[in-house]
Amino acid sequence: MKSDQGGEVGEVYLVGAGPGDPELLTLKAKRLLENADCILYDSLLNPEILKFAKPDCEHIHVGKRLGRHSMPQDEINALILEHARRGRCVVRLKGGDPFIFGRGGEEIEFLNGHGIQTDVVPGVTSASAASSTLRVPLTHRELGPAVLFLSGYSKAGTGERDGFPKHDWAFLARSQYSLVFYMGLHHLTRICRELLANQKDGATPVAIISKCTLPDERIYLHRLEELAEVTGEDPTAEIEFPAITIIGDVIRLLPERDRLI
């Protein structure tokens, strides 16, 4: 395949690394990691996953974290393009799934604009992994007829200045849907306040899963009103990233023996 500059280019794959446990990689993801010449990987990725790569594979950290962005997205795009134009097999390795808050669409759009086709390998997204960890479904005919995946943080220009997202809080509060917030820990108290202010039941359970599927995984359970009415020490301050939050009545299905985790 030739790029827009006429030279031969390599292969580019956007690969979902899943929530952290290497055993949750797809077989295709594992095969591509074993064949890659270059892997561009995110922050918080379990380093055990990189051990699938061949010895001479180049590992490039391009991760971004709230308040500590190591590389802007346009530089990541340019780096993928550079290695593809060198004829290399490039794996852009992303936590979770590339198309669920992974900005995979932006990278594909950029590469397509330069005449480079990409393949996408889905990964287990954190919402599914957290649901399995809790042994609680994200959807339930009576307690949660649908599920919404929501960003708890908004980049500059799409939300408020401090990164708080502009969701339809009134709709979210009155729905029976299970609400799954990615990147929501930083604003969780305010998220709960917005829902409570819009008449969401204060007794609605909230589950926070930190480092989902990893050996040091932790589960924190609260009621919506507990987090919304925080006036002193923030109970989420000590929770480690990455963390995902599920708000909804489906959490009431948590097995009795686990409810005081």
The neighbouring-strand residues paired with 68 are 65
Structure tokens, 182: 């990615």
User: Under 8 Å CB-to-CB from 241, ≥6 apart: which residues?
Assistant: 44, 65, 66, 185, 210
Please give the order of strands across the beta sheet that includes 118-121.
58-61, 38-41, 89-94, 11-16, 118-121
Active site residues: 42, 64
User: Residue 60 in contact with residue 79, Cβ under 8 Å?
Assistant: yes
Name the 3-class secondary structure at 118.
strand
| pLDDT of amino acid 40 | 98
Contact between 153 and 165 (Cβ < 8 Å): yes
Q: What is the pTM of this model?
A: 0.90
pLDDT of residue 65: 61
The pLDDT, as a whole number, for residue 93 is 98
Count other C-beta atoms under 10 Å from residue 168's C-beta.
10
Between CA 33 and CA 141 the distance in angstroms is: 39
What's the confidence (pLDDT) of residue 260? 43
Give the per-residue pLDDT at 261.
39
Contacts of 142 (CB under 8 A, 6+ apart): none
What structural domains and CATH numbers belong to the chain? 11-124 (3.40.1010.10), 127-258 (3.30.950.10)
Cα(72)–Cα(165) distance, integer angstroms: 20
- The C-alpha atoms of residue 190 and residue 5 are separated, in whole angstroms, by 49
Sequence length of the chain is 261
CA 180 to chain centre: 11
**Torsion region of 224: left, alpha or beta (phi above 0 gives left; psi -120 to 50 gives alpha):** alpha
pLDDT tens for the chain, residues 1 to 261: 454 455 578 999 999 999 999 999 999 999 999 999 999 999 889 999 999 999 999 999 998 665 555 689 999 999 999 999 999 999 999 999 999 999 999 999 999 999 998 999 999 999 999 999 999 999 999 999 999 999 998 875 454 557 899 999 999 999 999 999 999 999 999 999 999 999 999 999 999 999 999 999 999 999 999 999 876 677 778 899 899 999 999 999 998 645 543
